Structure 1
């Protein structure tokens, strides 16, 4: 076998590797490595008794975005403070007595675990209680052990946050928008498939399920980033508008398409298809083009002229509504325009009309976020 026969293999391996490890993943790895080394240096320089807690906190706090890192740092700080306070109080009450240590530990674990179950922000509290009470049974100064733990974790949290902010920082907004872009592109494809089903061009239920699952997953991922973006705003790291309305309108757009998909498995009668197909094709094409234009903006590319796309969508949807109204009053179609065909026709009109409204609202909300996000750069 010649060397040329093996040529495609490296590129295939590189493609698979790129799919497993993206530049975003490498950025997180770089920040975590720097944060861990910096925390280790500080812990060593200050001769902290359990400096590994500072290193561990620094590495754990480093997340994919500034907002996620800030939330992780705050959660660790809250959990440590609450757990440290409860653990120190329990240790003082126990005062070296084994029986009292067992009793106070049970109570402290119950209290902190209950608090952490109520709010995930305190999930480190039970672990801190264990460390303060049981890590050094011979320690007769539990308050000092608690202070050490709080200080060590605090050092790690600060170092981790500095790494997130100073080393190739990434804002949550730029991790949120690509998920919205994917949802738009999937919705456009679903709209086209629904149109084909109504017009008798065939419908693949398997592809519909796959695309709907993709839209649902993309929107859930976007929802997860909203909290990070809001944390960045609350922390003063950014000043852009709340991106939640952008995600909300993407979801509404997908729901508009679902209106059409619910009747897409029942093709309309042939005489109706013949007259509605041209305007329905035009409306779907205009809507899909506008979805793609907004998806490009969400991906961070330079926006095209939004006014032209919105005008094309409006004209195409109005033409569809007009044609549907004419068909509904045409005596020649009275025998065929009933039942499933009538329901399918007006489902198509409703879906396209709502999609148009949602696209207009989405463009307006996106413009608000874009305008203020540009000030943060």
Structure 2
């Protein structure tokens, strides 16, 4: 498994991630949102227009779904904090002592609300802004309404820029994460086969690969949530990608079953009869993982025909996946047949624990093959839905 380009092998240095066009597009969206919000705030002569500019910049995220989520969170926090702040400011009046007391109560209440519901994390900030923006507290209602309007304006501008300036759907960012997790599974399979047959498993590399799978699947889960928000807001008609992420996680869990019995080599009396077939099965499974990962990583987004096979290139991809799937099925079937033959011939003689480890490893290979087959079928469904 090749390490990411940005991860240096030097223990004393860590290079920056590579720059790509997605970073530039995000920067352009954020800058456009800031300038547009500033222009509107200036035209409307808003007293604290910088709140609109800040909100617009914060709302613009890497995907449209993430932008919607941030805008909704800021809106919810602003409205809640604005209502509480206005009410407390009107109660406090010009009294400094009462202001301090109510500010403490309001901040504590909204901070507890934000801790319970993270979507209200802006509420404590809004309470403080509303209560302290005007030291005389002469017009707390007007002050609160202005803050709500300014932050709402920034949210609308941010979503508009996310929607119309280099729009990026969440699925474009989701599938590369899933592909990275599948690549990690391929490398783990190879580590497991080496550990079982030769005792050359590298624990440090296994830990790194498991961490990669865990991190990338969590990132994919976040993108699934963003994609669901896009669908709920009718901003995208792409099919639900959650099944792909679930299948990737099941695949990883099946690989983990193999890794649990690969920490030490099998006795030679067990490994010799099944070595060729087990090596072939592991190699075929790892190759299929990498083929599927590459298809996910380089395919088009579902919103524009994700993994849709068109023309000669599409046919070549279909044929490659078909041959790889047939090769996996044949390799796993050969492994099962070899296990049956060796068992019937009395070649699989060893202590019970070692024999259990071997059968567990073979069962894990079968499960991995089934998961890969389901994942391939799920990808085909994306083709048909976006053809």
Q: Does TM, scored on the shorter chain, surpass 0.5?
A: yes
Deviations 1:186-222 (A, max 9, x none): 1111111211221126222222222222222221221
Count residues with an aligned counterpart: 357
SS in 1 for 2:190: helix
Q: Is the 8 A contact 1:267 1:341 kept in 2?
A: no
Counterpart in 2 of 1:5?
none
Counterpart in 1 of 2:380?
367
Match of 1:349 among 353, 362, 370: 362
Q: Distance in 2 between matches of 1:304 and 1:53?
A: 52
Q: Distance in 1 between matches of 2:204 and 2:123?
A: 47
Counterpart in 2 of 1:68?
66
Cα deviation, residue 304, structure 1? 3.2
SS in 1 for 2:350: coil
Counterpart in 2 of 1:211?
209
Task: Note the 1:250-269 alignment, pairs <5 A.
Answer: 250-269=248-267
**1:304 aligns to 2:318 (yes or no):** yes
Counterpart in 2 of 1:12?
none
Counterpart in 1 of 2:26?
28
Counterpart in 1 of 2:37?
39
Counterpart in 1 of 2:57?
59
TM-score (norm 2): 0.87
Please, what is the CA RMSD of the aligned residues?
1.9
Q: Distance in 2 between matches of 1:370 and 1:135?
A: 55
Q: Distance in 2 between matches of 1:18 and 1:367?
A: 36
| Structure 1 runs, 4 residues or longer, greater than 6 Å off | none
Cα deviation, residue 275, structure 1? 2.2
Cα deviation, residue 339, structure 1? 2.9
SS in 1 for 2:135: coil
Task: Note the 1:74-113 alignment, pairs <5 A.
Answer: 74-113=72-111
**1:153 aligns to 2:116 (yes or no):** no
Structure 2 unpaired stretches of 5+: 1-13, 300-313
Deviations 1:104-136 (A, max 9, x none): 222222221121111111111111111111111
Match of 2:337 among 311, 322, 331: 322
Q: Distance in 1 between matches of 2:271 and 2:102?
A: 77
Seen in structure 2, the aligned counterparts of structure 1 residues 256 and 361 have a Cα distance that, compared at 3 Å, is same
- Name which of structure 1's ranges 26-35 and 106-115 shifts more when overlaid on structure 2: 106-115
SS in 2 for 1:197: helix
Q: Is the 8 A contact 1:80 1:128 kept in 2?
A: yes
Q: Distance in 2 between matches of 1:46 and 1:192?
A: 63
- Name which of structure 1's ranges 209-218 and 151-160 shifts more when overlaid on structure 2: 209-218
- Name which of structure 1's ranges 164-173 and 99-108 shifts more when overlaid on structure 2: 99-108
Counterpart in 2 of 1:195?
193
Q: Is the 8 A contact 1:268 1:340 kept in 2?
A: no
- Name which of structure 1's ranges 256-265 and 128-137 shifts more when overlaid on structure 2: 256-265
Cα deviation, residue 237, structure 1? 1.1
- Name which of structure 1's ranges 246-255 and 208-217 shifts more when overlaid on structure 2: 208-217
- Name which of structure 1's ranges 207-216 and 73-82 shifts more when overlaid on structure 2: 207-216
Q: Distance in 1 between matches of 2:382 and 2:37?
A: 36
Q: Distance in 1 between matches of 2:322 and 2:19?
A: 39
Q: Distance in 2 between matches of 1:109 and 1:134?
A: 12
Q: Distance in 1 between matches of 2:104 and 2:187?
A: 57
Q: Distance in 1 between matches of 2:351 and 2:342?
A: 11
SS in 2 for 1:242: coil
Match of 2:293 among 289, 292, 295: 295
